[in-house]
Structure 1
Amino acid sequence: MPISLSKTPASPPSLTDRLIGALLILITCLLILKEWHLVSSGLDYALVPAVTLVVALLATQVAPGRRFFVALAIALSLALVWRVEGWQPVLLNAFHSAGFIAAFFAALATLRSAAQQASSIRAAGNFLALQPPGRRYLALTLGGQAFALLLNYGAIALLGSLATAAAADEPDEEIRTHRTRRMLLAIQRGFVASLPWSPMSFSIAITTALIPGTSWGSVVLPAIGTSALITLTGWALDTIFKPKLSHPPAPRAAPEGSWALMAPLLILLGLLVVSVLILQSLTGLRIIALVLLVVPCMAAAWALLQKREGNPPLRERARTFAFTELPAYRGEVTLLMMAGFIGTVGAPLLAPLVKASGFHPEDLPPALVLVSFVWIIPLLGQLGMNPILAVTLIAPLVPAASELGVAPEAIVVSITAGWALGGISSPFTATTLLVGSFGNVSARHVGLRWNGSYMICMLLLLSAWVLALGYLIL
């Protein structure tokens, strides 16, 4: 698996790639118009054909495993038409879900494209990777959360490549092996710790859209509590169970530079958060609507500033991004879009089957329902189910927050906590695949061996946390 942030192929883009890129940009623009309420009607006549065509083009270029999800989406759509009365709104919602996921991915990719060209970002990552053992875990975990906002999964690629390069300079094989594993786990856990609270994570964007009465602003504080538990528990286990070496390590030189190297990253993140909060107070729009527009604008401004460093002009950068970089994510885009589509179409097909089986979620103890997401999402991840698919499929079956006697924010925190644990343990997620590739072990080894005891601790702690939120705090 490649470890570079850039996925730009050397050859010129094909006609198919150009069409895919143009359609993804079109879908993003349509979703911005919809979310900003700039067009009241008629968007579906453009959105549905655009989503259909881009999926058809993507299906010609992706691996058979990704094509299976496209075929499954088609089969479930036919079953929906056959079995469910009033299927039209459900199918339209599925197209909206797939389109939103494509637009959200494309918007985040603009910032990733700008960040991968910035020397200051790489310098900050290198400084974190070279920290001494006493503070390296926390540095990489907290830094990984900051990088995740800019780079998404690219944060693991960047920090993972820098960490393994730093560890490779260690001549002692025993120390090098332990150092590589500990740094990679810190980076992975830092990334997943951002999922419960980041306004630019799919977990927040999708879950707040599925649970009525919630928004990023209403869940961010308890979600930061989830992130703190993920971070501090990992740091505590790393410190308590520090590997015992057969001989004392040689003294290490202090890393070059200072914490001032983190300033550009922190300033950028501060600008992003402040601009989103100000716009939300002025417009009252959902946070995801703001992200769809603010992030590409910030990326464009950043690319303009980078021209001073000898990078290509904005027009060339935009052309490369649209027709080369975006289509290069064809596998990820196909999987994510189909996960949202299948979950939306599959939920009304699953509900009658659940009732016919005699299982009634509303009859379960409310506390059990609240905790179940923390456990079910990672469990389904072991079976290969993407968290987007799992959440969109199961969330409609959950009793309303009023029936459970809890605030709806507690349900969101429970779902996003399970989403984060799925990212730690599932051998099918990008996080474990990337970490495994850097550590030269399988993704299943990362999820079950490297993170096994950590997962047990987190399942128990986060179960207690969501119960406390549901019945004591919120």
Structure 2
Amino acid sequence: MPTPSAIPAASRPNVTPLTWVLGGLLLVNMIMVGVQGWFGLEWLLYPSAISLLAVFGIVLFVGGRVSRLFVWLTIAGVIITLLVIDEPGPVIWDGIKRGLFFQGFMASVFTLQEAALRSRMLQRIGLYLIGQPIQRRSIFVMLGTQVMAVMMNLGSLILIGTIATANKRDGEPPDAAQRQVALSSVRGFAPSSMWSPLAVPPIFVGTLLPGVNMAHVMPQAMLIAALMLLSAGVFTYLGGRGSATSTDMTGLPRVALPWASFAKLALMITLIFAAIKFASVTLSLSIATVVTLLIPLTSLIWLAVQCRGRLNDVVTGPIRNIIGVRLPQQASETTVFVAAGLLGPMVLAMVPFDAITGFFMANHVSPQIIAIVVFLATVGLSLVGVNAILTVTVAIALVGDPAAIGMEPTFYALVLLSAWSLCAQFSPFTATTIVAGRLFGVSPITLSFRWNGAYLAFCVLSGVVVIVAHGILF
């Protein structure tokens, strides 16, 4: 039976000088973006921009297929902007600033993932969740992954998957219990992206969508995420009916409820959210800037506690792993968001908003029809490999100001966030399903369509019904 200390907290693959450079650039950029956002030091944007371009160059050599595609799209966007726009300089510079913002924000969140993956507290919680009878286990894993995703991002999937498959032999197909855990972890993870201040989608939509107030969006997004979890719970529970319920299906005995660990986790999340809100109000800073500053500090304190205050151990262990492993591993995912941030202002500058708005008005296209098309297109295109961040960027650019076509910006933001959450859960090309598939030894396509197909159809149909109902009632 694996114990918390036996579960690897952070993998240490061989690193190359290039990965050290990449990790160092991302770390330095995170610091510069945070300091610039706090003190308004515009001159820091110039070295940050040079660092961003260097990261793009490295990703072209060592990044994944999707990240390289987005880098080339960005290069093409810059060239087209130079050729088409009368004053391209301000547009490109605005894109660079947005790209820097996303790069710093995501790097800061990934530092917290390092501390969380090393936490014995979270490992004990994971062992407890996995050690339940199958139906209870499915619900507990779903809810636990949702909560842990706030702090760990994809690390929550890695933690749960590592524990659940600890006794699984290589090449062995997942059993019924592992299948349920895989589905529960994916279904629990995705909705957190709608409401967590440490998730990218709310920050991305709130930054690019005109007229939206995320303070109004987030509570409603949390309600939608809760409804998603409720429906997922029903599907997960029904899926576990008739399966064996013994606790030895995962090779793990049932463990005592770790009250102290749950209490510490709840306290940590509460303190982090409260500190973000307090700093944002007190310092008059955006939530994203506060996260970029506060989360690395939180991670450093947490790592120091884990290392019992031994500074040398902090530097030679987790800090070294953050620079040499954690940030380079996430560079491809980070680059996709950075590139989309760069492309946003360029696309916006080239879209004829007046013509589009005039077309919508002249043809009496209702806001609900537009919302349904955007919702279905975002989810549908993700199923064939089109990343949601690109679809959402185009959807925001095409609609422009939602209020101009009679659509509430808050409503449109919720449509985009809901669609994005479904993409994370059901697309076989997202990091969510790829990581879960690798951990549980199943193809992402099987996980997304064969195992999760009925729930996919239910979620898409429910989304359309809700949009139509909103149009009728409001």
TM-score by length of structure 2 reads 0.87
Is 1:177–2:175 an aligned residue pair? yes
Q: Cα deviations across residues 305-329 of structure 1 (Å, max 9, x unaligned)?
A: 1112989533334344224432233
Is 1:223–2:196 an aligned residue pair? no
Measured after TM superposition, the shift of residue 244 of structure 1 is 3.5
- Equivalent residue for 1:373? 374
1:111-130 paired onto structure 2 within 5 Å: 111-130=112-131
> Any conservation in 1 of the 2:139–2:236 contact (CA below 8 Å)?
no
- The unaligned stretches of length 5 or more in structure 1 are none
> Any conservation in 2 of the 1:410–1:466 contact (CA below 8 Å)?
no
- Equivalent residue for 1:287? 287
d(CA) in 1 for partners of 2:221, 2:366: 23
1:148 alignment partner, SS class:
helix
d(CA) in 2 for partners of 1:259, 1:29: 36
TM-score by length of structure 1 reads 0.87
Q: What residue identity is the alignment partner of 2:308?
A: R
Distance verdict in 2 for CA 1:467–1:290, change over 3 Å: farther
- Equivalent residue for 2:3? none
Higher mean Cα deviation, 379-388 or 461-470? 461-470
Q: What residue identity is the alignment partner of 1:18?
A: W
Higher mean Cα deviation, 107-116 or 23-32? 23-32
Measured after TM superposition, the shift of residue 386 of structure 1 is 1.6
- Equivalent residue for 1:26? 28
Is 1:256–2:224 an aligned residue pair? no
Distance verdict in 2 for CA 1:362–1:117, change over 3 Å: farther
Q: In the alignment, which of 189, 204, 225 is matched to residue 191 of structure 1?
A: 189
- Equivalent residue for 1:93? 94
Q: How high is the sequence identity, in percent, across the aligned residues?
A: 25
- Equivalent residue for 2:408? 407
Measured after TM superposition, the shift of residue 273 of structure 1 is 1.0
- Equivalent residue for 2:450? 449
d(CA) in 2 for partners of 1:45, 1:325: 25
Higher mean Cα deviation, 262-271 or 104-113? 262-271
Distance verdict in 2 for CA 1:65–1:392, change over 3 Å: closer
Distance verdict in 2 for CA 1:436–1:299, change over 3 Å: same
> Any conservation in 2 of the 1:340–1:388 contact (CA below 8 Å)?
no
Q: What residue identity is the alignment partner of 1:22?
A: G
d(CA) in 1 for partners of 2:66, 2:209: 30
d(CA) in 2 for partners of 1:76, 1:4: 42
d(CA) in 2 for partners of 1:469, 1:287: 29
1:336-347 paired onto structure 2 within 5 Å: 336-347=337-348
> Any conservation in 2 of the 1:347–1:394 contact (CA below 8 Å)?
no
Q: Cα deviations across residues 3-41 of structure 1 (Å, max 9, x unaligned)?
A: 966343245x51x333322321232123213432x1253
- The unaligned stretches of length 5 or more in structure 2 are 1-6
d(CA) in 1 for partners of 2:277, 2:457: 36
Higher mean Cα deviation, 410-419 or 278-287? 278-287
- Equivalent residue for 2:44? 43
d(CA) in 2 for partners of 1:153, 1:223: 20
> Any conservation in 1 of the 2:211–2:409 contact (CA below 8 Å)?
yes
d(CA) in 1 for partners of 2:430, 2:468: 27
Distance verdict in 2 for CA 1:402–1:343, change over 3 Å: closer
Distance verdict in 2 for CA 1:326–1:72, change over 3 Å: same
Number of equivalent positions: 460
Measured after TM superposition, the shift of residue 259 of structure 1 is 4.3
> Any conservation in 2 of the 1:125–1:158 contact (CA below 8 Å)?
yes
d(CA) in 2 for partners of 1:362, 1:155: 48
- Equivalent residue for 1:203? 201
d(CA) in 2 for partners of 1:237, 1:391: 28
Measured after TM superposition, the shift of residue 215 of structure 1 is 4.2
d(CA) in 2 for partners of 1:242, 1:63: 36
Measured after TM superposition, the shift of residue 420 of structure 1 is 0.5
Is 1:328–2:329 an aligned residue pair? yes
> Any conservation in 2 of the 1:22–1:322 contact (CA below 8 Å)?
yes
Q: In the alignment, which of 13, 19, 22 is matched to residue 9 of structure 1?
A: 13
Q: Cα deviations across residues 214-255 of structure 1 (Å, max 9, x unaligned)?
A: 34422121101111121111111222344535xx65576962
Distance verdict in 2 for CA 1:71–1:4, change over 3 Å: farther
- Equivalent residue for 2:147? 146
- Equivalent residue for 1:274? 274
